[in-house]
Structure 1
Amino acid sequence: MTAASTNGLSNSLAKLRREAAITSRILVMEGLLDYSGHVSVRVPGKDAYYIQPSTDPRSDVDPDRMIMVDFDGNILEGAERRPPFEIPIHGEIYRARPDVQSVLHCHMELAIWFTMMEGVQLVPMRSRAARWVSGIPTSNDPTHIKTKEQGEILARDLGPHHAALMRAHGVVMVAESAPALLVDAVHFDENAKAQMQVLQAGQKPVPLSRQELDLLEKSEMREFHVGKLWNYYLRKAEKAGVISSEWAKEEQA
């Protein structure tokens, strides 16, 4: 590998770590991530991913402190730091889903409620929820996912879908990048709020029909939409002091 290609790879990996850190900080700013939960990004060309240290505040994730972990949980970079206990969530999803480039595990309150109501399922209500047209399954293990076997079960329950609920525990979401994951998390929460508000009004939810979802999928401009919202949240986070102006400029360059 030439010096130029090595430098290019280093810059690419630095960008991935920065995007994961920014996504974590913005999710905290938006109330979708708190003292627990984690964002990871796949390392190109390796069976590995970057994830934050277990005890670092999610509001202050530092790209330079992120740990590289392989799918079996071995630390490849950052051995002086400890990754989250629930790394089997990430490793087994990446192993099962080569299309996935970023994984979020969080404890989105409204979404969790839908795992604790009899006969009520979270369904696509708002237009951006067409992202979950294939379904939003529930994985029934309410404990921390700390073993390979648990991770395999969760990955199997997620299947080909873009999100899964975890019974009385949390949510796992997957996407093609950390910025896309941020956008999906925002819309997932919006959709859960919409359905809950209908239920609280004493009315029967009317989810989007299959025909409506098909129309929405056909008209989707995902790359444009993700870029638009990523820039919006970058600017919002910069103004709030959640991320530095330098980070915002590097992402918008």
Structure 2
Amino acid sequence: MTEPKLVEHGTGVQDGHSEETLRLDVSMSTRLLNSMKILEYSGHVSARLPGRETFLVQPQNKSRAEVGPPDLLICDLDGKVVVGPSGVRPPSEVFLHCEIYRHRSDVNAIAHFHHDVTNVFTLVEDVPLRAFKNHAIRWKSGIPVHPDPAHVDDAERGRAIVKTLGDHHAMQIRAHGQIVTAETVRGVFIDSVHLVENAEAAYRACALGKPKPLTEAEIESFSHSFRRGHHIRKLWNYYTLGAIREGVFPETWAAEA
């Protein structure tokens, strides 16, 4: 069988991680989010390759349950595949990744998914998704809603997404899905989990009565004691060890990452 034709590339580093490690982190995060019914059949996780205007993202037609490090494409900020098998395409919404990386230098990882309960808050009036749980303080500045539900399938729509996102770390696309941004791949995985947990708690609260989000004072009190680096390491270990036991991905991935 003929080997896929690849384009040459260099190396990239994010927080001291090699490109190889980033490929593992993106693959593990993708499979984890899929196993948790957050990503499922559609959605994608990407990682910026620092020092280069490129990023890792999965191919359009690869199952989220099976994606592995060698499958990941390297795309430039125009959505063009610069490293990957000939003829393999990136996700149709690759442009949301392109434009966020182009305009937000603080963002090194992005997750886009379509979680129904979370998206419910874009379908009703006067019940915005706010911080209801302590870990939702990540979004104390707010979770804006993009009004256009269309797929982000060109650069113009990607720029519109950037405008709605602003300086926030998460957003919703009305009747469509969610975008979460973070400084690392592991951070974006944990934040994606917490965004969904927060939405599900809010949804259940709405069933009982008028929802009562955290106050500014409560958010401030949580912020003082929160150690983000420690929290990410703790939860990453918890979820990856559980995934290994359940066969979501091989133990060697976690050992190499």
TM-score between the two structures when normalised by the length of structure 1: 0.94
Aligned pairs (5 A) from 1:1-253: 12-80=18-86, 81-201=88-208, 203-251=209-257
1:205 shift after superposition: 0.9
Q: State how far apart, in whole Å, the 2-side matches of 1:8 and 1:151 are.
A: 24
Structure 2 SS opposite 1:229: helix
1:79 shift after superposition: 4.5
Instruction: List per-residue Cα deviations over 1:165-211 (Å, max 9, x = no partner).
Output: 0000000000111111111111111110111111111x111111011
Alpha carbons 2:12, 2:50 under 8 Å: kept: no
1:7 shift after superposition: 8.2
Q: Select between 159-168 and 241-250 the one with higher mean Cα deviation.
A: 241-250
Structure 2 SS opposite 1:60: coil
- Unmatched 5+ residue regions in structure 1? 1-5
Alpha carbons 2:54, 2:76 under 8 Å: kept: yes
1:8 shift after superposition: 9.0
Alpha carbons 2:99, 2:155 under 8 Å: kept: yes
Q: State how far apart, in whole Å, the 1-side matches of 2:109 and 2:230 are.
A: 18
Q: CA RMSD in A?
A: 1.4
Instruction: List per-residue Cα deviations over 1:148-177 (Å, max 9, x = no partner).
Output: 000000011001001000000000000111
1:104 shift after superposition: 0.5
Q: State how far apart, in whole Å, the 1-side matches of 2:222 and 2:197 are.
A: 17
Q: State how far apart, in whole Å, the 1-side matches of 2:12 and 2:161 are.
A: 35
Higher helix share: 1
Q: State how far apart, in whole Å, the 2-side matches of 1:8 and 1:100 are.
A: 15
The 1:8/1:141 distance shift into structure 2, 3 A limit, reads closer
Alpha carbons 2:131, 2:139 under 8 Å: kept: yes
Instruction: List per-residue Cα deviations over 1:201-228 (Å, max 9, x = no partner).
Output: 1x11111101111121121100000000
1:113 shift after superposition: 0.4
Q: State how far apart, in whole Å, the 2-side matches of 1:20 and 1:156 are.
A: 26
Q: State how far apart, in whole Å, the 1-side matches of 2:105 and 2:224 are.
A: 24
Partner of 1:3: none
The 1:72/1:7 distance shift into structure 2, 3 A limit, reads closer
Q: What is the one-letter code of the residue matched to 2:240? A: L
